[in-house]
Amino acid sequence: MQDPPSNLPPHSTDAEEAVLASMLIDPAKVPLVLAILRPESFYREKHVFVFQAMVSLFERGEGINQITVAHELASGQNGSKGTTRLEAIGGTAYLSHLIAEMPTSVYAEHYAGVVEKTSFARQLMDAGHKIEAIGQEGPADTDKAMADAMGHILELHGQRPGRRHSMSPKRRGDLMFDRYDILRENEDAHAVMFGFEALDKATGGAHESDLIIVGGRTGMGKSTLLRQMAFSMAQVAPVLFASAEMSGTQLMDRDISYMIGVHPLRLSKGLYNDDLTGQIMDAVGALTEIPIHDFIPPILTTTNLWAEAVRLRLSEGLAAVFVDYLQLLGDPRGRGNEQERVQSISARLKALAREVEVPVIAAAQLNRGPEYQANKRPRLSDLRSSGAIEQDADLVLLMYRDDYYRRNDNAVYKGDFTEIAIAKQRQGYSGITVRLRWDDKKQRLVAVADVGV
């Protein structure tokens, strides 16, 4: 294939012609090519016209040959230029030229790959220009500028060479068949598991693009629950764990505690012997293999969280994003009162879930309502600024530990169950309570006990 002149964007006229010729002489190659290319993959306008004509014939189930393609082109207008598309490409003589230059269609996919790579190079250049424009504007908000720049790169993520995509939006029926056929083969194809059997059974796991809220009063174990979920989901792909509440050293202590079953307080005070030191070193080695990426900037905002999530998804892949916790996030768009601020944060987290196509799981603080109730189990209305959070969330889990309120009732503290109530589930049943046992000594949730409705 000849290289294009240096003053033109990347393209290969020879490869584009070879693809079109292969489709003309062997219509059986059309589905293979359509899985790789779109009209905008072609650099030459006349090649776009020929390709679109063959696509239209294919979608109508009509034959593809020099005569039918010429007729299709003759019926299409060349914009506002007052000519037909057949005239724009040079008439039937150009179709004859294509066929004469390509005696075989054996290498159709190879040529299509060349066209797609040059198309991707042009898109990459275009993204570069857009990112350059962001820099030229001299943005005051560097976090937002980073998020916008990463957004342009993310847009290319689904268009890179080698990714199969359809020519046009699929018909609703095709989408339905695809989805339910995948789910029939693998019911968990679009979900990652929380790591607690009863909770996974009641919810089907965390689904892509979901905003999941874990609400609870202080001391209920929200951070611990999120961290254990992160460990589970990191078995599938890397996870991003953003904390506005704990430092990196605090998270490390908790991780080691989780791994070896020693209270974090003992670790932070250095109260361990040689045997425990060996266990800690083994745990450190194991933890380095678990792809949990802690994100602990000086000030955690929705914009720098967004940028980091996009960066990680592009560089390593992403199973889920965790936020501890929602009300501590900063958001430049929510500069009004507290309710407006939380509303903006909630909306941005939902938009982030849709953008990176993974679940975003955020802890959320409750108001003091349960403290003044005889039954201290929380309700949806106990979420701070609950109207916005309830609206945006796909799944709301509310945590409650009865023993937390009964510490002074017993001389000996025994530890008890942690209840996780499914207060809202957009795609499932609400009103289910999952019970886990809270191990206070090891500071973790263990062994599902039962599920009650």
Residues designated catalytic: 245
What 3-state DSSP class applies to 385?
coil
DSSP 91: S
Q: Which residues pair with 437 in a beta bridge?
A: 417, 446
The pair of structure tokens assigned to 30 is: 């059309």
User: Would you put residue 417 in left (φ > 0), alpha (ψ -120 to 50) or beta?
Assistant: beta
For 52-88, the DSSP string reads: HHHHHHHHTT---SHHHHHHHHHTSB-TTSSSBHHHH
CB environment 365-375: b (16+ within 10 A), e (fewer) = bbeeebeeeee
Give me the helices (H) in 26-171, please.
30-34, 45-59, 66-74, 85-89, 92-101, 108-136, 142-157
DSSP-assigned beta bridge partners for residue 361:
212, 322
Which phi and psi (to 5°) does residue 305 adopt? -65, -45
Q: Which of 353, 346, 281 is nearest to 313 (CA)?
A: 353
How many beta carbons lie within 10 A of that of residue 78, not counting itself? 17
Which has the closest alpha carbon to 224: 197, 257, 191? 257
E strand intervals along 402-443 = 417-425, 433-439
Closest to 392 (Cα-Cα) out of 337, 336, 354: 354
Q: Which residues contact 96 (CB under 8 A, 6 or more apart)?
A: 66
